[in-house]
């Protein structure tokens, strides 16, 4: 909790500093710094190290100063975008929809090649007698269960939707307890692996990456079901960049992201397969579901 509060204070001070710097840069005729952030769906310290090279790449490609701002949680990243404190963000499907719904003219401009057909894994501890199946695992009923972040598309929204669709019950009714949220996909995996929770839901890319890296034992945290596909992560840009840097700058940012081929840079967003164009319309299914479930209120 202390670390989260500290991170939030650091992010706030950086945001206030960024606003003052942008104003002074404008007054002096310099190009304002473009700030970007990313939802903290993995370890925040790790994300900062990964995104610094991305900031350097974008600065070189765009010909303006670019800097990464960390954020304490999903809601904070949406709020920073809404306020214009960041002008570019790597969002999940839901957080992107939430952010764009509050900023007229904002655009989803890029996504991973696999993001149009993303999916979630339901995982269980290795000692549980639940086998992998194409059918929703009703044997999870009554188990201790953890989602990821409360605002995560792949760690909460879509898993909750499919729980309701397949059981006719809310997660609280199906599992017999209040919802628990680990905060991120990697934490969900490790909590289930350790047996702290019997089961959980997380995004498939994080699970597959952790297994490939040897940081997760698939026999102790095993996949028992995967959801149908849905659109997820995306880069979203704020329309203020057209005021600051000129008309067409949204497209220039999009081109720079699509031309980002270096594996180290793509690894920052866990998209080593590369990025493809995105549009707001691509996420309409998420927008409709979010509205239906009250996530846009």
pLDDT tens-digit profile of 209-247?
Answer: 999 999 999 999 999 999 999 999 999 999 999 999 999
CB contact burial 72-108 (16+ within 10 A = b; e otherwise): bbbebbbbbbbeebbbbbbbbbbbbbbbbbebeebbb
Residue 9: what pLDDT? 43
Phi and psi angles of residue 102, each rounded to the nearest 5 degrees, phi first: -105, -5
Worst-scoring range by mean pLDDT, 10-14, 54-58, 232-236, 282-286? 10-14
Q: Which helix (H) or strand (E) holds 101?
A: helix 93-102
Residue 103: what pLDDT? 97
Full strand arrangement of the beta sheet holding 199-203: 145-146, 199-203, 120-125, 221-226
Residue 1: what pLDDT? 37
Copy the structure tokens of residue 279.
């549009």
CA–CA gap between residue 294 and residue 157 (Å, rounded): 11
Residue 99 has pLDDT above 60, yes or no: yes
Residue 264 has pLDDT above 80, yes or no: yes
Residue 294: what pLDDT? 83
Residue 21 has pLDDT above 60, yes or no: no
Over residues 254-273, mean pLDDT: 96
Work out whether strand 275-277 and strand 120-125 pair parallel, antiparallel, or are unpaired: unpaired
Quick one: pLDDT band at residue 29, thresholds 50, 70, 90? low
Q: Report CA-CA distances (Å) from 67 to 53, 55, 104, 108.
A: 10, 5, 24, 20
Region at 168 (left for phi over 0; alpha for psi -120 to 50; beta for the rest): left
CA–CA gap between residue 207 and residue 203 (Å, rounded): 7
Residue 45: what pLDDT? 72
Nearest to 220 by CA among 121, 148, 123: 123
Q: Where are the domains of the chain?
A: 2-113+233-292, 119-226
Q: What residues have CB less than 8 Å from 194, skipping those under 6 apart?
A: none
pLDDT tens digit sequence for 183-218 = 999 999 999 999 999 999 999 999 999 999 999 999
Whether residue 100 contacts residue 91, with contact meaning beta carbons closer than 8 Å, is answered with no
CATH architecture for segment(s) 119-226: 3-Layer(aba) Sandwich (3.40)
Domains 2-113+233-292 and 119-226 share a fold: yes
Quick one: pLDDT band at residue 6, thresholds 50, 70, 90? very low
Phi and psi angles of residue 20, each rounded to the nearest 5 degrees, phi first: -65, -40
Question: Tokens 């102790």 appear where?
Answer: 220
Residue 31: what pLDDT? 85
CATH class of 2-113+233-292: alpha beta
Residue 30: what pLDDT? 75
Residue 22: what pLDDT? 52
Residue 102: what pLDDT? 94
Residue 13: what pLDDT? 45
Residue 259 has pLDDT above 50, yes or no: yes
Residue 276 has pLDDT above 60, yes or no: yes
pLDDT tens digit sequence for 58-88 = 999 999 999 999 998 899 999 999 999 999 9
Average of per-residue pLDDT values in the chain: 90
């Amino acid at each position: 909790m202390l670390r989260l509060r500290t991170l939030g204070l650091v992010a706030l001070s950086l945001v206030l500093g960024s606003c003052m710097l942008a104003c002074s840069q404008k007054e002096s005729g310099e190009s304002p710094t473009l700030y970007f952030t990313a939802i903290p769906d993995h370890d925040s310290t790790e994300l900062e190290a990964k995104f610094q090279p991305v900031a350097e790449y974008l600065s070189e490609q765009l010909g303006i100063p670019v800097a990464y701002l960390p954020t304490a949680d999903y809601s904070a990243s949406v709020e920073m975008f809404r306020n214009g404190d960041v002008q570019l963000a790597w969002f999940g499907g839901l957080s992107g929809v939430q952010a764009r719904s509050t900023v007229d003219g904002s655009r989803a401009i890029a996504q991973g090649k696999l993001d149009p057909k993303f999916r979630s894994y339901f995982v269980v501890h290795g000692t549980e007698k639940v086998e992998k199946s194409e059918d929703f695992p009703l044997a999870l009923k009554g188990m201790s269960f953890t989602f990821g972040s409360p605002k995560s598309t792949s760690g909460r929204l879509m898993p909750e939707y499919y729980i309701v669709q397949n059981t006719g019950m809310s997660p609280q009714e199906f599992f017999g307890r209040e919802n628990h949220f680990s905060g991120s996909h990697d934490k969900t995996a490790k909590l289930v692996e350790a047996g702290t929770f019997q089961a959980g839901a997380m995004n498939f890319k994080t699970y597959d990456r952790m297994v490939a890296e040897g940081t997760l034992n698939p026999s102790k945290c095993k996949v028992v079901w995967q959801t149908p596909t849905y659109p997820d992560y995306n880069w979203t840009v704020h329309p203020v960049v057209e005021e600051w840097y000129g008309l067409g700058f949204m497209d220039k940012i999009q081109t720079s992201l699509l031309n980002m081929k270096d594996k180290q840079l793509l690894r920052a967003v866990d998209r080593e397969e590369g990025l493809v164009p995105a549009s707001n319309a691509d996420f309409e299914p998420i927008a409709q579901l979010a509205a239906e479930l009250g996530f846009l209120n």
